[in-house]
Structure 1
């Protein structure tokens, strides 16, 4: 796989991740709106949720940045 094909594959992967996350966000908002749930659940004291919300974006960013960083590190 040459560099041009790799960049296109990476671009398609990023677009796929964006589309998937946007679709899940819209689905969750629509479902919440249709339910008419006025009282929300307070989960801010859940340590597991807070850690997951911190670690998941870090892992995604590292996976997206790794190919670029690897290019700069190789001589």
Structure 2
């Protein structure tokens, strides 16, 4: 079983906002925002509905990044 280094606190990632060059904040897995129970469901099942049809087989965890300065949003795949 693969683990996401961001979800498990093993690594941090610095992403620069392409609009204002501020540091973007990791807001967690995109699937956690689907509904109230999403964070408690099986991660591999949730990957089937995360918007990337290959995230499960490519071992990627899709994270939501947000720039609090200019409100820019971005989803990035993190290698597990």
Q: TM-score range by the shorter chain?
A: under 0.3
**TM-score (norm. length: structure 1):** 0.21
Relative to its length, the structure with more helix (as a share) is 1
Larger radius of gyration: 1
Higher relative contact order (CA 8 A, sep 6+): 2
TM-score normalized by the length of structure 2: 0.20
